[in-house]
Structure 1
Amino acid sequence: MFLLTVNAGRAKTVDYTDAPSGRTGIDKRPVDGPVRIESPGPGGAGASGVAGDDVCDLRFHGGADRAVYAFAREDLDRWERELGRQLDNGSFGENLTLSGVDVNGALVGERWRIGDQVVLEVTGGRIPCRTFAGFLGEKGWVKRFTQSDAGPGALLRVIEPGEIRAGDPVTVVHRPGHEVTVAFLHRAATSERSLLPATLAAADWMESGLLGLARQYAEKYASEGAGAAGEGTEGEGA
């Protein structure tokens, strides 16, 4: 398991985002040399955990719980075959393109050491949005990405800061005692909301937006006695 590339993007004004600023940093490209990774705090100008990376829509991106976004190269390869187009590292707006890591099977709260210094903790998965769809230019992309079994990729918080670079090994150093994976949480938050109460087993590690949704639906489900699965939604994304 290793890090293929660290990817960062600079803010650009585009016509396909609904961010209040009209700008996005989704166009991420591999960065040469060591890159500093540290927690950006709850928001603000430096909302990405990756040095040199811009976050433009602080409603849904950045901050301590969503400091870094990782995607597996193997899943990009699956999408290459399905879409019939080349997808370079960073094409999905991910900060880290990983090889050999079961990103979507990772438990919420699982910790990864990358290189000698950095430790990251899984907080959830990406919910696709109009900016992502507009950037890729694929028809029906939000629904297609949400329903795919390729998985959403993982959002991460920074536990131990430091520098990383392409080629660094990735090691799982902690797995919490529950069974809520990134893929399961994504399914619960989008197409099968009756599963949301079960995700609260990972409440101590979940990113705040998804945790709020899970708690809200758990309360609703309890008050109704037995709820049906909620409708999928075009939600917050990257």
Structure 2
Amino acid sequence: METYAIEYLAAGRPKMLTYAEGKEMETGIVKKRAERLYAAENGCRHDDVADKKNHGGKDRAICIYPHDHYPKWEEEFSVTLDRAAFGENITAMGMTEENVCIGDTYRVGEAVIQVTQGRIPCDTINKRTGLNGLLARIIETGYAGFLCRVLQKGEIRQTDKIQLVERDPHEVSVAFALHTYFHHPKDQEAMQTILAVDALAQRWRDKLQARLARLTV
């Protein structure tokens, strides 16, 4: 079974972010280092989102971003990114969109989590990092990270390993799902493949079903 290391844990409540010549917005994307997280059904303790329509909830309780992508973005944009620059709770080593599937279940510390969807990023990432082209490149590459629900609550420490407990039988990778979502919005077969995964987040299920309905009218 695959096992991954945690590079960084982070949490933070919404606060004002200043960007682009003094503009401000409230967001939970700016997170601080946490020696430990307590993962619960609705998210991590001491962590929250500002836009509850598009972020958070039981299907999106924990955000994971692969540490593997940081060197790419830093080289491409000639910057040094902050830790948890993408607003993730867990920055994981080697745990990429290509080798993680929707519905996969992992034990991390005392908690058990399940991958529910690829992350759909918004321009808050550009505002957080000050890199205007980053969002477009994330969508182009699919290096967006992924979200999880909490099946068993418990404490997570940075020294804990993320251990695969069960691979979803459909083996639909996060990369495949994101590539379909971003770049092939009319691929009915691909969307049906994603919808077959029982663990898929309800928000994604609704969006894909709506797309299929429009295509079959």
Q: TM-score higher than 0.5 here?
A: yes
Which residue in the other structure is 1:186 paired with?
178
Choose which of 69, 93, 99 in structure 2 pairs with 1:99: 93
Counterpart code for 1:142: L
Deviations 1:10-56 (A, max 9, x none): 32123569xxx941010112112x3211111xxxxxxxx11111211
Choose which of 32, 38, 41 in structure 1 pairs with 2:40: 38
Find the residue that maps to 2:44 and give its secondary structure: coil
Choose which of 129, 145, 157 in structure 2 pairs with 1:136: 129
Find the residue that maps to 1:193 and give its secondary structure: coil
Counterpart CA distance in 2 for 1:97 and 1:14 is 21
The answer to whether the Cα contact below 8 Å between 1:197 and 1:217 also exists between their aligned partners in 2 is no
Find the residue that maps to 2:149 and give its secondary structure: strand
Find the residue that maps to 1:23 and give its secondary structure: strand
Superposition deviation, residue 83 in structure 1: 1.7
Choose which of 49, 54, 58 in structure 2 pairs with 1:60: 54
Match status 1:159 vs 2:151: yes
The answer to whether the Cα contact below 8 Å between 1:36 and 1:162 also exists between their aligned partners in 2 is yes
Match status 1:221 vs 2:215: yes
Q: 1:154 to 1:13 in 2, by over 3 A?
A: same
Which residue in the other structure is 1:146 paired with?
139
Deviations 1:179-219 (A, max 9, x none): 321111112222211232332122x1111221111111122
Structure 1 alignment gaps of length 5 or more: 41-48, 224-238
Counterpart CA distance in 1 for 2:199 and 2:98 is 16
The answer to whether the Cα contact below 8 Å between 1:3 and 1:114 also exists between their aligned partners in 2 is no
Match status 1:10 vs 2:13: yes
Q: 1:75 to 1:214 in 2, by over 3 A?
A: same
- The normalised TM-score by structure 1 is 0.81
Which residue in the other structure is 1:229 paired with?
none
Structure 2 alignment gaps of length 5 or more: none
Counterpart code for 1:191: H
Match status 1:110 vs 2:112: no
Stretch deviating more after TM superposition (53-62 or 81-90): 81-90
Superposition deviation, residue 136 in structure 1: 1.5
The answer to whether the Cα contact below 8 Å between 2:14 and 2:49 also exists between their aligned partners in 1 is yes
Counterpart CA distance in 1 for 2:193 and 2:154 is 34
* Bigger fraction of residues in strand: 2
Which residue in the other structure is 1:25 paired with?
28
Which residue in the other structure is 2:192 paired with?
197
Counterpart CA distance in 1 for 2:213 and 2:48 is 36
Q: 1:82 to 1:140 in 2, by over 3 A?
A: closer
Counterpart CA distance in 2 for 1:22 and 1:83 is 24
Aligned residues: 208
Deviations 1:106-162 (A, max 9, x none): 1100011112x111100111112121221122123322210025x211100001110
Find the residue that maps to 2:216 and give its secondary structure: helix
Superposition deviation, residue 65 in structure 1: 0.2
Counterpart code for 2:165: V
The answer to whether the Cα contact below 8 Å between 2:97 and 2:173 also exists between their aligned partners in 1 is no
Which residue in the other structure is 2:83 paired with?
89
